[in-house]
Amino acid sequence: MRLGLFSTIQSRPGGEAEALRRFLRHAERAEAGGFESVWLAERHFTAYGTIGNPVVLASALAQRTSRIRIGFAALILALHNPFRLAGELAVLDVLSGGRLLVGVGSGRAGVEARALGLTFDAPHALFDEAVALLPRIWRGEAFDHAGPHFPGHFPGTRLRPEQRPHPPLLRAIVHDDSAVAAARARMPMLLGRFPRARLEPTVDIYRRTLAETGASEEEISGLLRRSAALRHVVIAPKEREAAAVAREAMSGYIDRAHEVNEPHELDDFLERACVYGPAGAVAERLAEVAGLGLGTAIAWVDFGGIGPRHADRTLESLITEVLPGVESAGA
């Protein structure tokens, strides 16, 4: 199993600019420590997330790193023209040396859409049209498109992504319907902070849909290995300290989540969305992801009310104590 690092760059007491700089430092340390990927969310205008242009931030990461894969978890396609987005991502894939992973979602874009003056009569249909266009645009050939949301003539492009035929596309999963849609489109999954009780049935639905639509066992296993699940992670030497730090961090997270209409009850969300404890216990919990056939556990270590010292300590523990054990999980 592989490890990834995630952030939305949440508003922090030290300021958003310092949180952004700290994430860049964390990404560099994660690469040096053996993480496989780093993931950026797209969020606008709120304390919950301040990465208004994740492509720009990813470009900075591409220049600061050389090996780690750079992913989006996820781009909100409802906020983008796919023709322009495809061109930006092609540039980024070339700059990164072919390290791009493109996670996409239909998104709960209410706050962002209102601020940007956008309205959507059929957001899921818009998503389906946009995600189908991206691979076609990346081929570089001219074509006419008659879809309801993005009609027009595409004259083709000279600059194509370094990865061929195109960078991997993954779908953000928020409910079982999106897992079914991802399976039918043969897209790997980006799973949110589902509790084990929900994560396993969702993976089963994905597996079953793949099988019902003609996928071989080899193809199913390959798609699951390219899928990932996100977890808040807090590590401390003692269980009691880890629980206290995680509780404070998650309380701050919930305060920020209210801005994007994501209400949570603290005790429930802490137990189902956060992996906390000494390094050994955290490694066991993260290995559950591999037990379902998923290839990557994505750790969110700098979030909510957690202090920078605790976020730094968690990342170091993941590198030095957790990663050596989980790399063999699911092998």
What's residue 267's pLDDT?
93
Q: Residue 274's closest CA among 212, 193, 331, 209?
A: 193
**For residues 149 and 309, what is the distance between their CA atoms, to the nearest angstrom?**
47
Helix (H) or strand (E) holding 289: helix 279-291
Reduced to 3 states (helix: H, G, I; strand: E, B; else coil), residue 144 is strand
Q: Which comes out higher in pLDDT, residue 305 or 14?
A: 305
One-letter amino acid of 201: P
Residue 201, domain extent: 2-326
> What is the end-to-end Cα distance of the chain in Å, rounded?
7
What's residue 121's pLDDT?
67
Model-level pTM?
0.95
Task: Work out whether the CA dihedral 105, 224, 204, 269 comes out positive or negative.
Answer: negative
- 46 in a structural domain: yes
**For residues 106 and 181, what is the distance between their CA atoms, to the nearest angstrom?**
12
Helix (H) or strand (E) holding 31: helix 16-33
Statement: residue 331 has pLDDT above 60: no
One-letter amino acid of 156: G
Q: CA gyration radius for the chain?
A: 19
What's residue 197's pLDDT?
85
| Lowest mean pLDDT across 263-267, 275-279, 284-288 | 263-267
- 210 in a structural domain: yes
Q: In this predicted model, what pLDDT tens digit does every residue of 244-269 receive, in sequence order?
A: 999 999 999 999 988 776 788 999 99
User: What integer best gives the mean pLDDT of the chain?
Assistant: 93
What's residue 243's pLDDT?
98
- 182 in a structural domain: yes
One-letter amino acid of 134: L
Distances (CA, A) of 223 to 174, 205, 211, 254, 257: 18, 13, 12, 32, 30
Average of per-residue pLDDT across 24-53: 94
Q: In this predicted model, what pLDDT tens digit does every residue of 161-205 receive, in sequence order?
A: 999 999 999 999 989 999 999 999 999 999 998 887 899 999 999
- 135 in a structural domain: yes
**For residues 184 and 145, what is the distance between their CA atoms, to the nearest angstrom?**
22
Average of per-residue pLDDT across 37-55: 92
- 331 in a structural domain: no
What percent of the chain shows pLDDT beyond 90?
82
Phi-psi region of 330 (alpha: psi -120 to 50; beta: other; left: phi over 0): left
Domain containing 218 — which CATH number? Answer: 3.20.20.30
**For residues 295 and 280, what is the distance between their CA atoms, to the nearest angstrom?**
20
* DSSP symbol at 49: B
Specify the pairing of strand 143-145 against strand 152-154: antiparallel
The helix/strand count (H/E) of the chain reads as 13, 11
**For residues 10 and 258, what is the distance between their CA atoms, to the nearest angstrom?**
13
- 22 in a structural domain: yes
Q: Provide the token pair at 192.
A: 């949110």
- 231 in a structural domain: yes
Domain count of the fold of the chain:
1
Q: Identify the band that residue 57 occupies on the pLDDT scale cut at 50, 70 and 90.
A: very high
Reduced to 3 states (helix: H, G, I; strand: E, B; else coil), residue 189 is strand
Answer yes or no: are the C-beta atoms of 188 and 226 closer than 8 Å.
yes
- 219 in a structural domain: yes
Q: Residue 322's closest CA among 1, 67, 73?
A: 1
What's residue 110's pLDDT?
67
Q: In this predicted model, what pLDDT tens digit does every residue of 104-162 receive, in sequence order?
A: 998 655 677 677 777 666 678 899 999 999 999 999 999 999 999 999 999 999 999 99
**For residues 59 and 102, what is the distance between their CA atoms, to the nearest angstrom?**
14
Strands (E), the chain: 2-7, 37-40, 69-76, 100-105, 143-145, 152-154, 169-173, 189-191, 228-235, 274-277, 296-300
Average of per-residue pLDDT across 288-302: 96
Contacts of 273 (CB under 8 A, 6+ apart): 193, 195, 231, 232, 250
